[in-house]
Structure 1
């Protein structure tokens, strides 16, 4: 039922949080690499968004 689905969601979210804290702990040992990876990911997301926006503008013209 919906209760089971809610429980599954909670378990999933807890797993995500645990994995993130594990990643963070690993990253703390290797912070420079983590920062670079994070920046690259951030830049990629921004570039993709900008490209999609530009493509949207071209489509409208």
Structure 2
């Protein structure tokens, strides 16, 4: 069993038998595998990390 969480809406955990069921039922977003031993992704923190990564990518592209 895989534990999956949506990268867009972060609403709930999914359990799937295969990695092919990778679409969120709620918002059709992408699901990622998560480890239940780690805390659930905080949407705000995740969004900030994404923004930081995007900013870093923009910086490296311009050089």
TM-score range relative to shorter protein: 0.3 to 0.5
- Point out the structure with max Rg over C-alpha: 1
Greater share of residues in strand: 2
Q: TM-score, normalised by structure 2?
A: 0.39
Greater share of residues in helix: 1
Q: TM-score, normalised by structure 1?
A: 0.40
Q: Which has the higher contact order (CA 8 A, sep 6+)?
A: 2
